Amino acid sequence: MMIETADQVLEITAKQRFWTKAQRVALGSIGLANATTAEQVAFFHICKSTGLDPFRREIYYIQRKRKVAGRQDELYYTAQTGIDGFRHIGQRTSRFIRRVGPFWTGPDDDPKWWTVGEDGINHRRWVDVWLGPGLPAAAMCRIEHVSIAGVRTVSQAVALFAEFAVGKDEWANDPNTGEGYKTGKLKLTGLWPRMGVHMIGKVAEAQAWRIAFPRELTGIYEHDEMGRADAEQRDLAREEAAERRRAVRQEAQGEGPVVIKGTVVDSTTDGTPPQPQDTTQPTDDETSNQPPRLDELRTEVRAYAAVMGTGVTQVSQRWRRIAGKSVTEATTEELHQLLDGLRDHVINILRSWNAEAADHVAAGGLLVRRDPDYRTWSRPTSDAPHS
């Protein structure tokens, strides 16, 4: 008797025309539980044409939202894969010859990154290993391949660090007015401060692959290419959350008694204003405005691990490989970086069974502030695929 393994159950076969029932159940665990049939058809076509397996986490279909003037926000999906996925697709074409690079270079105003060629023209200097201080200004990669016309050619792409690095605006306080203002500088977030050389190198390589093989890679992006788009989604979610809070406050200013969580309001008729009674529990707004404590961030890592269906040990091991230390030794800033790297994946998983919590995380909130027991955030048994 032949026993089918999980891989065989989820395998996309050559004759297959659409997702099987088992595959549709599994799609819910990778953020496509609420995708329309049309989007599932489109994603199936992408997986078939690229040969990438979504159930092995080789390719993702990420939902985002964009504002449209005069209309409701529009939802759209983007196919994303890692740099290994680009290499796999490119090499399957049989027209790939070799990859050269990536290379890195420094800023324009530094003379050491320029050299005078035999033609008397200044040429930019590129290095194949970045050992200098700071971060590079750009990365470049070349793909040697045979064109559709059968001509050997080279496709080259350059990615500027300033265009793809993910960060947030740096703020400072005006000593005269005490008001905050943007300095115009970008404070890098996620893995960009620590691994910016590697990240911008991947972006340049992905763009070179797409130039070399446009038919196979049109509409598919490397994860780090979409870092700015993900940051915009978080900003959009924060704006929407702030708008909802403003609406609640405006409603609270209307007539009649209003009860706000954490505060008891007594409606009186003798002309005196209602007096709130102090409670030991802060309101949601008060809690959300407080910066996360170190112990909260460590518990949040456990909550993220519970959402992803893995243990904190696996997350800690991954972090140790990147940072050289365990999660328990990480500082507040390092824990923020770890959570930033996992947030988009956690949001996609949460949307399949707890959209409200997904919006809360997308708006910059902590799961442990909604429920301090990190085990609460494990996927409910009823949502797990049935055998």
Predicted confidence (pLDDT) per residue in 114-164, tens digit: 988 777 788 899 999 999 888 999 999 999 999 988 999 999 999 999 889
Q: Of 75-84, 141-150, 172-181, 192-201, where does mean pLDDT reach its minimum?
A: 172-181
For position 322, what pLDDT does the model report? Answer: 66
Predicted pLDDT of residue 314: 75
DSSP one-letter string for 200-225: HHHHHHHHHHHHH-HHHHTTEEEGGG
Q: Percentage of the chain with pLDDT > 70?
A: 81
Confidence of residue 97 (pLDDT cuts 50, 70, 90): very high
CA distance linking residue 175 with residue 195, whole number of Å: 34
Q: Is the pLDDT of residue 228 over 80?
A: no
The pLDDT assigned to 381 comes to 59
Q: What per-residue confidence (pLDDT) applies to 119?
A: 77
Q: Residue 257 pLDDT > 80, yes or no? A: no
Partners of residue 171 on adjacent β-strands: 182
pLDDT at 264 over 50: no
Does the pLDDT at position 364 exceed 50? yes
pLDDT tens-digit series, residues 312-360: 677 777 767 666 677 778 888 788 878 887 888 888 888 888 888 887 8
Q: Is the dihedral of CA 355, 358, 363, 368 positive or negative?
A: positive
Tell me what percent of the residues of the chain surpass a pLDDT of 90.
Answer: 22
Region for residue 286 given its phi and psi (left: phi exceeds 0; alpha: psi -120 to 50; beta: otherwise):
alpha
What is the CA 16 to chain-centroid distance, rounded? 31
3-state helix, strand, coil in the chain (%, to 5): 45, 20, 35
CB 206 within 8 A of CB 216: no
Res 2: pLDDT: 39
pLDDT at position 262 over 50:
no
Quick one: pLDDT at residue 34?
80
Mean pLDDT of the chain: 79
pLDDT digits (tens, 9 = 90+) for 280-324: 444 444 445 567 888 888 888 888 888 888 776 777 777 676 666
CA distances for 371 relative to 269, 280, 357, 378, angstroms: 38, 17, 10, 12
